[in-house]
Structure formats: C-alpha cells, structure tokens
Structure 1
C-alpha cells in the first residue's frame, strides 16, 4: 500500500487577536498558491544538480528526507522498503540519479511517472550492491559540499537560504523557529553599502539610530537598541570593529530578530532587540580578481579590491583578500572623511576538518564629525528639521582604529558528531574631540561643550562546543552544547577643551576644532567585564522533520569591575552575578514549503548602575531578563518567500522617583511583521516588508508614565525595494526603494515628538563585457527628494538624516 500523510496545525493563541487572524489569512493564501509553486519547483528540480548530506537511517527515512529536499512527489510502497537500511546520500546529483544512488543494492529502482512524480519498483536489472553488510550504496564524499550548501542563495540572489542560528548551527530559514534574514554580498555590492547600516535599511524592523557620520553606528530592532559593538563575527562577540562595521569583507549579514541569549550568549552591551552576525568572505573554487573605483557626493573618491584563490589537492586551501580606501568631502558642510579597510581570510577545508583565520584592519578619520542632540528639560516643542547639509555642533574630529584577529576550527568526528572551537581578539582605539549638542528651544538654539575623548577597548573572545545527531526510535535529535567567554577591558581619557558654546541649528556658526596641544593624554582604567556562559539545547524532530521542537537553556555569568574617573581607581567591590535563560521553539510543516513556527526566548542584559546625582549613585543592579513570545508562518513559493510574524517583548526599564534610581518599570513592545524576498516574476525582484510595533511603558512606579508610548518606537515602519531587468535592454537593472517611519516620541512623557519620515532611493546598474572582461557599472541616489528630517534613538538622542547623496562605482573582473 502507498503512504499518504496529512497534518493539521493550530497556531498558538496570541493576545493580539487581530494579528493572529492575519497569520491565518496568510496560511490560507499559501494553500491556494501551493500547487502552482510546487509544480514550478518540481519542474526545475528534475534537472538541477543539488548537494546532499543525508545521514544514515532507515531507507524510508532517507527517501523521505530526499523527497523533501528536492521537492519531488515520491510514491513508496511500504512493503518494498520495509526493514531496509541506508547509509544516506553524500555528494551532488540530479533528481533521478540521486534516487537510484540511494537505492543501490536494495533491489529497487525509481521511475518517472507521467505527472512528474516518482515511483519505486523492483529493479529490472539490480543496481550495484554495496560491500557493506547492509543494502546501501558506499558513501561518496565531496569535500566542499557542506560549504556550497551553506552559501546557497535564494531566487534573486539577495538573501541566502542558510544562516548561523548560534549554538544550533547552520539552519535553513524555513527550519529555524525565529524571524531571520540573511543578506548576501550581492545585495551589499549592488546597493553600494559603505557600512552595515546601509545593509540593515532593507529590513522593516530595523532602523539606524545614530547619524551616518557620527563617531559610531547604533540600531534599533523591534524597538530596542542594538549597539554597533554588539555585532558578531561568525557568531562570536567582541571581534568586529567597535565603532562602525564594514561590509566590503562580508559574504553575509545575518539578522535574527528578538532576544537571543541562548543562541549566541549575552552581548557585551546587553542588547536584546536582536542579533546581527557577519560571515566573512571565503575564496571560491573559481579564481577571483575584482577591482573597482567608487565615488560618493560631494567629492569622496575611492577604490576597492577583492582577490580570491584556492590551492592544493581538491582546492583545500583558500585565500581571500579585500581592501577599500575612500577619501574626500562629504555632502555635510565642511565635513571630510578618510576610510581604509583591509581583510585577509584564510581557510582549509578537508574531508572532516575545516579551519578559518580572519584578520581585519579598519581605520577612519572624520573632520567635523556630527553628534546626536539631546533635549533640554525645559524644551516644550520640537523645532522643524533644518537643512540636512548643515553641520552640528559645527566643530570636532574623530579617528578610529580597529584590529581584529580570529581563528576557528570544526572537526567531524563522525558523520553525526561535530566539535568546534574559536579564539579571537580585537583592539579598538578612538581619539576624538566632539560635543553632544543640547537642544534648548523651539527656535533651534543649542549649546555644547567640546570634550577630548581617548578611548581604548581590548577584547578577547572564546568559544567551544559540539553538535551530536542521533535517533531514539522515531525521534531524531540534534544536541548542541557550547561555552563562550568574552573579556573586555576599557581605558578612557575624558576632559573638556572648551567652555559652553552656543549655536543655532538654522544658522550655525562653524568654528575651528579646539586644540588638545599640551594637554595630558594619559588614559585610565574605566571598566573590566567578563562574560562566561554554558549552553545546552536539543532539537527534536518527528515525522521526518515535519515537526521540530527546540528546548534549551544557557547559564550566563557576569563579572564587572567599575572604576572612578578621573583617577581610575576601583569603584567598590567587584560585581558578579549569574542568570539562567531558557528557550523553547517549534517548527511545524503541515504542507510542503510552509512552516508554522513559535518561540519563547529570553535575553539577558548587564545590571544598570545608578547615575551620579541620585541618592543611590553607584549602586549596581542585578542582570535583568527580557522575555519574548513570537509566532509566525513562513512560505517558500519556490521563487519568492514571505514571513508573517507576531511578537511580544517585555523588558525591565529604569526609572528615577524622588531622586532614587531603580529598575522597576517595564517596556512592552507588541507587533506584527511582514517580510518578503525573491523573484515575483522573471527579472522582477522584491526585498523588504512592513512592520507595526506598539511600544508601551507599563508597571512604572511613576504611574503617570504608564500607558505612554516608548521613546523611539514608531507604530509603522516600511522598507521595500524592487529591482527590474528590462527585457529590451540586456544587462540593465533598474532599482528603487522606499523607507517609511511613522511619528516617534522623544521623551517618556510623550510631550515631544518628531513627524513621520518617507525616503526614496533609486538606482541602476549595467553588466557587460569589455574585451572579455566582465564589467559592472552602478549608480544609486539616496534620499532622492532631499528630504529634511529628524530621527531618534530608543534613548532619545536626535539626529538629522543625510542629504541627497549620489553613489557611483565601476568594477571589473580580470
């Protein structure tokens, strides 16, 4: 008899009932379109060569896994396969040869039916038998099959299928119980991204919360801050450049939304909005020699180089070198920048051993660096946004240097057991003269004080762990265990170099940056932090991975020593606390290419310190947890993918009542997100989506604040980009993007707000061959209509959006 299994699923109840209704509607739409999507994918899969790494199991289970990965319809007579075992399938195959390779020695063969499906029957001429005692085909090993699978991109090439889900390892976006997007190096290049902030503008739930030419870049995910220093490198914290993260060396930028303490450990700054991971480029099998020239308005010129080679038997050794240099005047008045980035990526890929080494050197100098505004307590209304080309505070400079090194290795003890370890270090230095302007009146008056800031952070990062796959009866397991440790030591020198400077945003007076000549430049210790964690998780799979349940927990220890300024002596006893953060996630696939998922996960942040001026100044509070509940549905239509998710995040917040500081309030963000990527039709691609988030203050001692909207959490965010390849102009691509952010509050009392923002970007690129040399020309215009606008952060810092900016580049592959 033939098997046919049907599944039914019910989404978890969410308090926002109307959002749950939207999920149900999305599932119904997916069912309506699924037959056509299945037919298109099936037709393509018949001739496509795919890489497979299917573990040994019963013949039934291996065949079902194979049918699931290829998207084919396979009819199996249970009597023919009963009791037979298989060693799985490893290597690259088209559909029918792959099926027969699995069936080798079993006395069975696969045949194609008229409707495009496949059926098993007894072999007319027996296929070669295995030398093994069980009826299987000997294992065929392809050394780089795992690497190729990890780098597989989705239709449209803007998003990768797989990404690093922390301790859980590489996961296809359909198999991870979280909302994830993995941006590729192609989208980075085509959008001419200069830093990670430009890449993250593609995500509707992410916003940059600091000025583009500020000292550093920070972000907001789902209404909570993610600091630039908390961005991971290959899943390890404390290694990416501290102030601004480059992307010329990135193969993927992976974004996972929501708290993720179990997956990645606690980030150094304790952010909980989400995790951002950079996967560095590796040398491909084909040699690469790519050089480019770049231009950015007003007159910033530069060049890029990307070189890759593989050597040795089976191309086991790889070298990838990336370089970037830019210098010139920006579109901001009197602002000039100089940037350099160099990276070297080495790797070895053997049959079981994989080793990588990465070296990153980044340097940046900005003259007339801009800073964020804060609002004075007496400000009663916000002034309109001034001319976006104006410089504020009208003086300043910054010099940043980052040097990172990391070594990481993986070893497959068996096909089912893998161990890994990594170690890295980073040295970050800043020398800046800058002032944070304070906005004092609705007519645009502000004041500032120039401060000389020397800042140095030395980081060490370690990780080790293992992943083990096995089965207990019909239940599959992937048990993941890991340990991480991040040490950071911070030194600082912070002194004023001017008195109070008054100015106005509508008629600024630019002054020379105050000199630091003759001043003491000795730095003192400012902080020492050690974060150690241990994690254990098990992903249980049922019904041939139709149902996957992930359960786990991480114990995080936080050790911190604060120091007094300006002497640098210890401020009180060493702080040491620990906490346990659990996770529970579920993925259910009721139909092929449809995933229903849900999760409960917690984040962990360092305990806050009562600020100077409060009655309990210097008191350090225990680490606090952020809790997320999320549910969603993912649909893979074959060439386009969509995700709809609803979430609730509850995070403790600090308040000061009667001049006493305490962590006794809470911010609760609830929302719904829609993400889309892929090809709507041949030559027409979409990337982005929309998000609704309601951030509310609750449980505050100061009851006046309860019910207010949280600072810097807009109700609506949209980021949607499109690309079109005109049929009449081969090689030409036209692009456009809209970025919308609704009204935001600047203060907890909700007395001050900034209006909505709508930004339009356009672009074009042209690919051709000149004397057999592939050449790509790109042109992009950001903020096409030169809109003046304010933006804000979750801490209430204000900044101006960038002016209309023209970006040009040309690259050639030699």
Structure 2
C-alpha cells in the first residue's frame, strides 16, 4: 500500500517537475507595485494580462497576472503588506481575509538583522518557543498549540517543508503566519499557525547584492543574491542566492557552519501559460547543547532549579547535531478563458538529520548534580511528497459575484526506520558542567524505531460571494481521507471526514473591515517527542474547531488588527508515566492585537500583543481538568520600531522589547516557568556612491541586557540565548 501510493505520487510529482525542467525558466512578470500603489481585489486564482510591447500596460481590474505571486516593493521599507500569499487566500487583500494573518516583510527582517526563524517569529503575537533548544532546531507554539514541524511550515504557500532543520531566511522575501485552523487548504495541520516562506524572485529591476556578516560570538560569513529578467519580452528570469558562514553561539563549545544554495526560476511562454520552479538546498552542522528535565514532584509540587548560566553546555563535547534539507517545488498555471484558470503544482521536501539528545535528569536543585542521558540517531530521514491541482474562476448570479475554487491535494509524509544508540549515563552538574568527550561515552544498547507513512488526500471547494460592495460571504468544505501506515506491524488506520468553513467579511469603509469565521478540521496529534517514553510513536488524529471574530483598520500607512479566537481541540501531553498520549480536550481562547506599518514617514513599527487562556478538559483526571495547558503564556508582547530621521534620511535607528509571560511546565500545574523580557537595539546606514552602487551597514544587538530565561516550558527545559551583536555589510551593484 505504501509503495504503491508513494510511487504514484512520485510519478505525478516528476511529471509536474518535467514541465518546469524542460525549458529555460524566468522570474514572474508579476506587476511590481510602487510603495503606494493600490491593491486589486482577490479573484480566486491569478489570471493573465495581455502582453504588449510596453511594460507599462495595465490589465483590467477584473484580471490579474496568471503567475503573479505577490506585489514585491523592490526597495520598499514598509513593515506591513497589502496582500497575503497563503492558503485559499492567495493574492487576496489582507482586509478581506477572515482570519488572523501576520506578514513579516523583508524590510522588517532586514531592520532587525534577522538571521534565524526565531528572530522572525518573535514579531508574531503569541508565538513562543517550545520543545527544543533554540541553538539547534527551534520549535514554536501559537495560541498555545504546537506548530507541527512536518505539516505547518510551507514554501510559497503550498509545499510542506520539514522544519526539523533550520529554515534559512537569506533567500526569502517575507514570512507569513496564518493563525488557527487551516484544514480546508492544508489538510492535516495543527490549529496553531501556518508559517509560509515566500522566496525572492527576479524583478524588472536587476538585482546584484554581495553581503558580509558577522557577530560578537565568532560567526562570520557572506552571500550573494543575483536576479535578472531577460528575453525579447522579458519572459524569462532567475533569482539565485548563495550563503555560507561559520557559526558561533553563546553556549561554550557550541559552534558550527551552515550554507544555503537556492534558485527561483520562471518562464512565461505565452499569455496563457506560466511555469515556476524553486530549488533550495541547505546544511547546518553544529553540536547539541543539552537540556534539563524538570524534577519529579515532591508533596504535590515541582521545584525547578535556578536558571543556570547562559553559557553552560550539558551535553558531551562535540555531540553532533547535523541536518541537510532539500526542497523542490514546481508550478504550472494556465488561463482557460476570462476569469477561469487552472493550476498544477507539486514538489518534494527531504530532510536528513544526525541528532544527539542529551538531557540532565534527577537534578538536585541546590547542588546542581544530576544524571546525563545521551542518545544518538545517525540517520533520520523524512520526506514530504506533495501534489495539488486547482480550478478557479468567477460567475455572477444577479448582483452577487461568486469567486469559486475547486481543488485536490495529496501529501505523503514519510519517516524511515531509525536506529538509536543509547549511551551509559554520567554525572553532570548544571551549574558547573563536567567536560566529557562524546567519543569517550560508552554504548549501553540501541533502540529501533519503525517508520511510518501518512497519506493525506483532500478534495475541497470554496465560494466567496460578494454583494452590495460591503459584504462577502465565504463557504466551503473539504473531504478528508487520512491514512497512517506503520512499518512495525503493517498496521494502518484510516479517518474520513468532511470539514466545513464559513465566514463573513463586512467592509463599512475602504479603510476598515469586520469579520467572523468558523472552521473545522482534522489534525495530526503528531509524534511522541524524543523526551517521552514512547518516543517516535505516531498518534491518532483528532478533530479541532475554531471560532474567530475580528476587525482591521488602515490608519494612513499602518494596519491595526484585533481578533478574538476560541479553539476546541484534542489534548496531547505526557502523562505521569511519561507516555505521550491524546486524552481529553484543550480549550484555547484569547485576544490578539497588532499594529504594523508607518506611524509617520519617519517612524515604522511592528507591535503585537496577546492574551491567551488555555485549559485542559475531559481528561478523566479531576486534578488535571481546568489546569493550564503546558507551555502557554497568559500574556505575550512584541514591540519593534525603527526611526529614520528626516535630517539624516539614510540612517535608521531601531529598538525592540519582547515579553513572554509565566507558563505552566506540567500538566497538573505543579511547576511554572517565570516570565521574561528581552531587549534589542540596532541601527543601519545606507551609503550611495557616485558610481551608482549602494553600501548598507547594519548592526543589531539581541538580548542586550543578557537576561537569563527559560526559552520554553515543557518536560525538558532549555536556557535562552545570551547577548549577541550582529553586523552586516551589503553591496548593491
């Protein structure tokens, strides 16, 4: 069964890839709007405009480019965006999107000197670290729900990339975060957030940028970014990015290297047909810093140790953590007639990882002594094979315009068998760590984990009915067929379900919108984490549902958003026997407020805050019902601003403050992790040379007060990163 599906999906994917590989390819001929250009309304799928000898020709308001990906503002310094590029809301005005979407523009990421996904995600209300060390592969939760590493991260709105290795930002134009249940378009995903990474593409303006980077903890590197459109009609284009660096960290003995090579190619052979291809390959080699397992309860309470030094390493010296990732995505768009278009896209994401896990348990919170347990898995292989086809267009029934979307999506999520080596434990002190070589550890045995294949097949449709210029009614449904095949005993289980979506958007004025939505979905309960007694076990799927009500208002060049959400989902947690189970329900509700954009022409901000109340219910354990869900802060705040004074227009000064509230670290709420605040400071200066080149200098300091804090609240705790100063210089030719 597994082989037949995988082979069939591979054939389908390769067929799509062949269409993209068979010819030279070019970047999109999407219109690149000026910073103040208006944004056309969403029309289902992108539609072509007639070619003309002039690049200035304007399509009618009812048409959009077939291959239009997004309106990129070449040199724009905007902190907010007008359109989104995610899920069923691709190329839709953010004002008409009935869910919470946060867009992290390239301007915002550059101003912050963002180099990691952690740097980017701190701008999103209620997104906090979870489960793993921020030094190796950061994990996150949103609205108190895990952002699943193998389903919830997407490339260019579709391909589920595997976030078990660091996601590189050097070739990304922006990051979009869609909050809540997203099952209609993406199938089996947790109702936390979809993080979509949009790649840089060629623009009408040639791009040649060389950059040099470094930081205060010993990192140094450099990269190149080249983009061109070419051909008699500028029908071809390519954007290539390369980056490599040696890495330093704030943890003693934890260093490494990473590199990225990527290409984004587009070709538009006719007015009706366009093809896109994205390829990226990355690698990161570093070492495991180690974590601290929370102590056992005494008299109904768990006492956590004081936070150790930011520089302490608890793992053996040179315990490896290496990861390789390859993502390939192809897409073909064809305009059938008028407003109707057809799309086929598919790709493969593969991640290979060599991972050490090294945690200190049974810690004496006074002396710091405990027992270090280390394991190593040398060949973890994960694959996602994805195919999607869509037909979209519009019809009118009297005064009502229906924008229709019909789609089919199939994804194979494959995990190979794994053999884990277990090492004899050794005494370790979290306050004054003992230094031991990884190669000196003695093997105590091995554990074999059988792989699995999850197949997610969905048929979906959606209707956006607009009438009276002020109202849009949204309705849709997805038929889901989800199957898990476990290699160990040839077991399979299948779940079939129809999940609905409904929403209403009201536009009182051009500058404002109000919305309400309801969406239901099946979600994967995930895989038992490495810290659990049943590590690697694939859990049965659960049903989740979400209500959301919100509003948006455009205040000149800034967007203000507010939303209330209520999520009801299956509850996953490690029980008192440390077995990861699905049992009971989790109720998450809260309020999110954000503001992004320019307050004045000198000051740009990105501010977001959230209040979340997440509790456990129906667990069968009276002592557990009503207790907080593990790792969820009641309050979280992110505020970043950049000031560009009129009297020195090429200078930018910025500062940020990030607050995460108190979090429960135990399902019975017997321990909690303290709240914390970190600060950032930075500046940049753009120098224009007489010869026409531009040099941009940037410096950014993160956690400038060197605050000690737990980065997560979970079975295993990790210490957050210490103070660092990042530097970069980029040369634009």
TM-score (normalised: structure 1) = 0.78
Change (3 A) 1:618 1:507: closer
Q: Tell me the secondary structure at the aligned position of residue 345 of structure 1.
A: strand
Q: Does 1:360 align with 2:292?
A: no
Q: Does 1:499 align with 2:418?
A: no
Would you say the 8 A contact 1:210–1:216 is kept in 2?
A: no
Match of residue 411 from structure 2? 486
Would you say the 8 A contact 2:424–2:442 is kept in 1?
A: no
Would you say the 8 A contact 1:537–1:553 is kept in 2?
A: yes
CA distance in 2, matches of 1:466, 1:193: 37
Change (3 A) 1:469 1:796: farther
CA distance in 2, matches of 1:54, 1:501: 60
Q: Does 1:549 align with 2:468?
A: no
Q: Does 1:413 align with 2:333?
A: no
**439-448 or 178-187, larger mean C-alpha shift:** 439-448
Corresponding residue to 1:275 among 185, 191, 194: 194
Q: Does 1:347 align with 2:266?
A: yes
Change (3 A) 1:312 1:328: same
Structure number with greater CO (CA < 8 Å, separation at least 6) is 2
Corresponding residue to 2:179 among 257, 281, 284: 257
Superposed CA offset, 1:727-774 (max 9, x none) = 332311000000001111100111111111100001000011134311
Q: Does 1:247 align with 2:172?
A: no
**780-789 or 380-389, larger mean C-alpha shift:** 380-389
Would you say the 8 A contact 1:90–1:140 is kept in 2?
A: no
Deviation for aligned residue 1:551: 0.6
Q: Does 1:291 align with 2:210?
A: yes
Deviation for aligned residue 1:450: 2.0
Q: Does 1:224 align with 2:145?
A: yes
Would you say the 8 A contact 2:516–2:548 is kept in 1?
A: yes
Match of residue 77 from structure 1? none
Match of residue 180 from structure 1? 101
Would you say the 8 A contact 1:655–1:700 is kept in 2?
A: no
Superposed CA offset, 1:182-221 (max 9, x none) = 2222222232222222111111221222555544221111
Change (3 A) 1:704 1:213: closer
Match of residue 124 from structure 1? none
Match of residue 438 from structure 2? 513
Would you say the 8 A contact 2:111–2:654 is kept in 1?
A: no
Q: Does 1:383 align with 2:305?
A: yes
Deviation for aligned residue 1:702: 0.3
Match of residue 130 from structure 2? 209
CA distance in 2, matches of 1:663, 1:241: 23
Q: Does 1:559 align with 2:483?
A: yes
Match of residue 29 from structure 2? none
CA distance in 1, matches of 2:439, 2:505: 58
Q: Tell me the secondary structure at the aligned position of residue 416 of structure 2.
A: strand
Change (3 A) 1:460 1:515: farther
Match of residue 777 from structure 1? 697
Q: Does 1:580 align with 2:498?
A: yes
CA distance in 2, matches of 1:763, 1:48: 27
CA distance in 2, matches of 1:759, 1:225: 23
CA distance in 2, matches of 1:525, 1:615: 15
Q: Does 1:428 align with 2:348?
A: no
**650-659 or 667-676, larger mean C-alpha shift:** 650-659
CA distance in 2, matches of 1:557, 1:605: 12
Would you say the 8 A contact 2:140–2:146 is kept in 1?
A: yes
Gaps in structure 2 of 5+ consecutive residues: 1-32
CA distance in 1, matches of 2:348, 2:365: 46
Deviation for aligned residue 1:375: 1.8
Deviation for aligned residue 1:390: 1.3
Deviation for aligned residue 1:54: 9.8
Q: Tell me the secondary structure at the aligned position of residue 563 of structure 2.
A: strand
Match of residue 376 from structure 2? 452
Deviation for aligned residue 1:670: 1.1
**501-510 or 437-446, larger mean C-alpha shift:** 437-446
CA distance in 2, matches of 1:615, 1:338: 32
**464-473 or 450-459, larger mean C-alpha shift:** 450-459
Q: Does 1:715 align with 2:659?
A: no
CA distance in 2, matches of 1:760, 1:371: 25
Would you say the 8 A contact 1:452–1:516 is kept in 2?
A: no
Q: Tell me the secondary structure at the aligned position of residue 314 of structure 1.
A: coil
Would you say the 8 A contact 1:409–1:422 is kept in 2?
A: yes
Would you say the 8 A contact 1:237–1:486 is kept in 2?
A: no
Deviation for aligned residue 1:710: 1.3
Would you say the 8 A contact 2:472–2:504 is kept in 1?
A: yes
TM-score (normalised: structure 2) = 0.86
Q: Does 1:643 align with 2:598?
A: no
CA RMSD of aligned residues (A): 3.5
CA distance in 2, matches of 1:645, 1:153: 31
Q: Does 1:602 align with 2:520?
A: yes
Match of residue 11 from structure 2? none
CA distance in 1, matches of 2:685, 2:444: 53
Q: Does 1:745 align with 2:664?
A: yes
Would you say the 8 A contact 1:155–1:679 is kept in 2?
A: no
CA distance in 1, matches of 2:452, 2:441: 24
Deviation for aligned residue 1:149: 5.9
Corresponding residue to 1:323 among 235, 238, 242: 242
Would you say the 8 A contact 1:152–1:162 is kept in 2?
A: no
Superposed CA offset, 1:137-183 (max 9, x none) = x9699996973863369985123211124134321110110111222
CA distance in 1, matches of 2:350, 2:95: 37
Change (3 A) 1:272 1:237: farther
Change (3 A) 1:248 1:737: same
CA distance in 2, matches of 1:51, 1:215: 39
Change (3 A) 1:493 1:583: same
Change (3 A) 1:90 1:639: farther
Q: Tell me the secondary structure at the aligned position of residue 108 of structure 2.
A: helix
Match of residue 157 from structure 1? 78
Match of residue 135 from structure 1? none
Gaps in structure 1 of 5+ consecutive residues: 1-44, 56-87, 102-137, 564-569
